[in-house]
A and B are shown apart, each in its own frame.
Chain A
Amino acid sequence: MISANNVSKRYGAVQALQEVSLDLHPGEVVALVGDNGAGKSTLVKVIAGVVGPDSGGVAIDGEPAHIGNPHDAQRHGISTVYQDLALCENLDVVANLFLGAERRKWSLLSHIRMERSARDLLTSLDVRIRDIRVPVAMLSGGQRQSVAIARALIGEPRLVILDEPTAALGVEQTAQVLDLIRRLRERGLAVLLISHNLADVRAVSDRVVVLRLGRNAGEFRTADATQESIVAAITGAAA
């Protein structure tokens, strides 16, 4: 289990996070929702080691973990897919999947080994790409998002964080990505999904955590919660 405990973070005059806590279990999709500026991205950045918290921190299996930079986070099995995909459009799918983690033999790239694992990985996630040797620039938005998510799995992580993975996608491609998220859950990964789209959230998540003005503002089991109760927690109407 990976958890964030009592995390606070202040940017100048803005208290972006105030004593926020969050638990993430293997095989569970947790949706993190909240209005613009609620602190979702900031919380993700703390977990992913991009920014350091003012107080509080991340614990892994109950042990406090020192996560000072993104590299530490990766070492602890935390993998993040950012909103801007961070793919190299000029490189092909294989090159993007293994970027920075190239398999090598005597400092030469092992093209065949990487392509084999890339195909296996994409097949296991049921991601369909006709020719994985073409530059990523030639793929559709949904395919690119799928590549970005598949890439997060290369280092065998235990937690995958997705920041608005469906924001720029059409209906069909969104469905593809949601399927992909379900498959991550089947693999036993913990998934943290940030989304503004409550329909998507209700479709894939097991649990919904609401942030409001930098504080925990409610937590629901998706199966039991109504759309209205979640919206109320987001806007603070019920309080």
Chain B
Amino acid sequence: MNAATVTRKPYTPKEAVERLRHGDLGAWPVVGALVAIAVVFGTLNEHFLSPENLTNLALQMAATGTISLGIIMVLLLGEIDLSAGSVSGLCAVVMAILSVRQGWNPILAIVVALAAGALVGLLHGVMFTRLRMPSFVVTLAGLIGWQGLLLYLLGEGGIVNLPFDGFVAKLSDTWLPSWLAWTIVALLVLASGGSSLVNRRLRLAAELPVPPVWWAAVKIGGLTVVLAGAVLVMSADRGVPLLLVIFGTLVVAFDLVLRHTAFGRWMYAVGGNVEAARRAGISVTRIRVLAFVLSSTLAAFGGILSASRLSAVNQGSGGSDILLMAIAAAVIGGTSLFGGRGRTYAALLGILVIQSITNGMFLLSVDSSVRYMVTAAVLALAVAIDSLARRGSTT
């Protein structure tokens, strides 16, 4: 095999445009949006880009971001989960009742609440696959029904306070000391650099094309800059919140699972073409059920993180705009509503966009009516890009 075939040729401008037209925009629109948000709110309010506010932002993202991560699991199949908000509230209530009213060990209470979430997802998945109900309807019923169960469980009081110094509340009030934060950054950079080096070696050994060295260097350099910048900013305030680390770990872990296991491959396959997946011998039913289980379990976890921040659960837990924010975040981050396209980083990027808008408008004391309209406009834009990309890829 000669050298020309071993290094992948860069795209000609025409091919690059073609790729863009086919929806290969990647994360660039979101990054652009983030820069625009930083510039606009940064100039309108000097507090917006302050370490304190950015650290708050990081803390605010985790709960809804985790729910959004779950939503991505079903969106990848081209389905939808409208019950994620209610399920998050319900499971948080289960956790709070067990740990506070029943006096259980909080970790055990969390595990049981997550299991409850998984069970809910299993039920949704079975209704969707066995009874062939549209996912939209199944989870719409869930949205109402699980909210009802939440109210029923909470009963008369309507609120359960979590002790401020308890394990659950502490989750959102734990900050990484700066040595630990920097160690994590170093490890992440080493891991990604090391894996790309090993991968490169293995590919060359197998005579497969490899991207140019500078490209790998740029990627790792970019990662280093982003991580170090984030740690630098947050260390200037209280430090990196544990909640952000938990959320980030989930995002990375699920990304690895989706890209490097057969299960992940099959998720994309089912989302891309159900019939093809079925003919290839993939158990479509199992993949679908699993996606709903993951969605609800992640929703449950998001609900617990949210309860931790509030140090309480009440009748509004998991309600109001949480669900819509979570779905919007997934789509804004680049997950296709039509299935088969998107990565878990969409949850991180999307929630960052939404939360910064919310946070920025709050700083400017803009009324929530305007905030809703702006968020809606961003969402509409994201869906428009998604739809255009889809049209591009089918013509």
Q: Which residues of A contact B340 (CB under 8 A)?
A: 88-91
Q: In the bound complex, how far is the Cα of B24 from the Cα of A91, in angstroms? A: 12
Size of interface on A: residues with Cβ below 8 Å to B: 32
From A71, A95, A112, give the contact of B203 (CB < 8 A): A112
A218 in the interface (beta carbon within 8 A): no
CB-CB under 8 A for A89 and B273, given A100-B282, A112-B202, A138-B18: yes
Asked if B208 and A104 sit within 8 Å, CB to CB, the answer is no
A204 in the interface (beta carbon within 8 A): no
B394 in the interface (beta carbon within 8 A): yes
A27 in the interface (beta carbon within 8 A): no
Cβ-closest chain A residue relative to B282: A100
Q: Which residues between 240 and 271 of chain B lie within 8 Å of chain A, taking CB atoms?
A: 260-262, 265-266, 268-269, 271
Q: Which residues of B contact A70 (CB under 8 A)?
A: 279, 281
B43 in the interface (beta carbon within 8 A): no
From A91, A95, A138, give the contact of B22 (CB < 8 A): A138
Cβ-closest chain A residue relative to B18: A138
> Scoring A residues 37 to 68 as 1 if CB is less than 8 Å from chain B, else 0, what string do you get?
00000000000000000000000000000000
B19 in the interface (beta carbon within 8 A): yes
Q: In the bound complex, how far is the Cα of B73 from the Cα of A187, in angstroms? A: 42
Q: Which of A8-16, A129-137, A230-238 lines the interface with chain B?
A: A129-137
Cβ-closest chain B residue relative to A82: B279
Asked if A100 and B18 sit within 8 Å, CB to CB, the answer is no
Q: Which residues between 265 and 287 of chain B lie within 8 Å of chain A, taking CB atoms?
A: 265-266, 268-269, 271-273, 275-277, 279-282
Instruction: Tell me, rounded to whole Å, the shortest Cβ–Cβ distance linking B197 to chain A.
Output: 14
Q: In the bound complex, how far is the Cα of B270 from the Cα of A99, in angstroms? A: 11
Q: In the bound complex, how far is the Cα of B342 from the Cα of A39, in angstroms? A: 42
Instruction: Tell me, rounded to whole Å, the shortest Cβ–Cβ distance linking A49 to chain B.
Output: 12
Q: In the bound complex, how far is the Cα of B341 from the Cα of A107, in angstroms? A: 23
Asked if B22 and A135 sit within 8 Å, CB to CB, the answer is yes
Cβ-closest chain B residue relative to A107: B261
B393 in the interface (beta carbon within 8 A): yes
B213 in the interface (beta carbon within 8 A): no
CB-CB under 8 A for A119 and B276, given A99-B269, A131-B8, A138-B22: no
B131 in the interface (beta carbon within 8 A): no
Q: Which residues of A contact B373 (CB under 8 A)?
A: none
Asked if A88 and B273 sit within 8 Å, CB to CB, the answer is yes
Asked if A88 and B8 sit within 8 Å, CB to CB, the answer is no
Asked if B276 and A115 sit within 8 Å, CB to CB, the answer is no
Cβ-closest chain B residue relative to A148: B276
Asked if B202 and A88 sit within 8 Å, CB to CB, the answer is no
Instruction: Tell me, rounded to whole Å, the shortest Cβ–Cβ distance linking A185 to chain B.
Output: 25
B206 in the interface (beta carbon within 8 A): yes
CB-CB under 8 A for A108 and B206, given A86-B276, A87-B273, A91-B272: no
Q: Which residues between 94 and 114 of chain A lie within 8 Å of chain B, taking CB atoms?
A: 95, 99-102, 104, 107-109, 111-113
Asked if A109 and B19 sit within 8 Å, CB to CB, the answer is no
Asked if B208 and A108 sit within 8 Å, CB to CB, the answer is no
Asked if A137 and B282 sit within 8 Å, CB to CB, the answer is no
CB-CB under 8 A for A102 and B275, given A119-B208, A131-B8: no
Instruction: Tell me, rounded to whole Å, the shortest Cβ–Cβ distance linking B232 to chain A.
Output: 34
Q: In the bound complex, how far is the Cα of B193 from the Cα of A119, in angstroms? A: 27
Instruction: Tell me, rounded to whole Å, the shortest Cβ–Cβ distance linking B277 to chain A.
Output: 7
Q: Which residues of B contact A138 (CB under 8 A)?
A: 18-19, 22, 393
Asked if B277 and A99 sit within 8 Å, CB to CB, the answer is yes
Q: Which residues of A contact B19 (CB under 8 A)?
A: 134, 138
Q: Which residues between 206 and 221 of chain B lie within 8 Å of chain A, taking CB atoms?
A: 206-208
Q: In the bound complex, how far is the Cα of B341 from the Cα of A123, in angstroms? A: 29
Q: In the bound complex, how far is the Cα of B322 from the Cα of A195, in angstroms? A: 55
Q: Which residues between 118 and 145 of chain B lie within 8 Å of chain A, taking CB atoms?
A: none
Q: Which residues of B contact A88 (CB under 8 A)?
A: 268-269, 272-273, 276-277, 340
Q: In the bound complex, how far is the Cα of B385 from the Cα of A108, in angstroms? A: 33
Q: Which residues of A contact B22 (CB under 8 A)?
A: 135, 137-138
Instruction: Tell me, rounded to whole Å, the shortest Cβ–Cβ distance linking A219 to chain B.
Output: 30
Q: Which residues of B contact A82 (CB under 8 A)?
A: 279
Q: In the bound complex, how far is the Cα of B266 from the Cα of A160, in angstroms? A: 25
> Scoring A residues 128 to 165 as 1 if CB is less than 8 Å from chain B, else 0, what string do you get?
00010011011000000000000000000000000000
Instruction: Tell me, rounded to whole Å, the shortest Cβ–Cβ distance linking A143 to chain B.
Output: 14
> Scoring B residues 1 to 32 as 1 if CB is less than 8 Å from chain A, else 0, what string do you get?
00000001000000000110010100000000
Asked if B265 and A86 sit within 8 Å, CB to CB, the answer is no
Q: In the bound complex, how far is the Cα of B380 from the Cα of A97, in angstroms? A: 36
Q: In the bound complex, how far is the Cα of B19 from the Cα of A88, in angstroms? A: 17
> Scoring B residues 188 to 200 as 1 if CB is less than 8 Å from chain A, else 0, what string do you get?
0000000000010
Asked if A115 and B208 sit within 8 Å, CB to CB, the answer is yes
Cβ-closest chain B residue relative to A102: B262
Asked if B268 and A90 sit within 8 Å, CB to CB, the answer is yes
Asked if A90 and B261 sit within 8 Å, CB to CB, the answer is no
From B206, B280, B394, give the contact of A100 (CB < 8 A): B280
Instruction: Tell me, rounded to whole Å, the shortest Cβ–Cβ distance linking B351 to chain A.
Output: 24
**Chain A interfacial positions (CB closer than 8 Å to B):** 70-71, 74, 82, 84-91, 95, 99-102, 104, 107-109, 111-113, 115-116, 119, 131, 134-135, 137-138
24 A-B pairs (CB sep. < 8 Å): A86-B275, A86-B276, A86-B279, A87-B273, A88-B273, A88-B276, A89-B394, A90-B273, A99-B280, A100-B266, A100-B281, A101-B281, A102-B262, A107-B261, A109-B260, A109-B262, A112-B199, A112-B203, A116-B206, A119-B208, A134-B19, A135-B22, A135-B24, A137-B394
- A-B contact sample (17 more), CB < 8 A, given A70-B281, A116-B206: A74-B281, A85-B276, A86-B279, A86-B280, A87-B273, A87-B276, A88-B269, A88-B273, A89-B272, A100-B277, A111-B260, A112-B202, A112-B203, A115-B206, A115-B208, A119-B208, A135-B24
Please provide the 6 A-B residue pairs with the shortest distance between their CB atoms, ordered closest to farther.
A100-B280, A88-B272, A90-B272, A90-B340, A86-B276, A99-B280
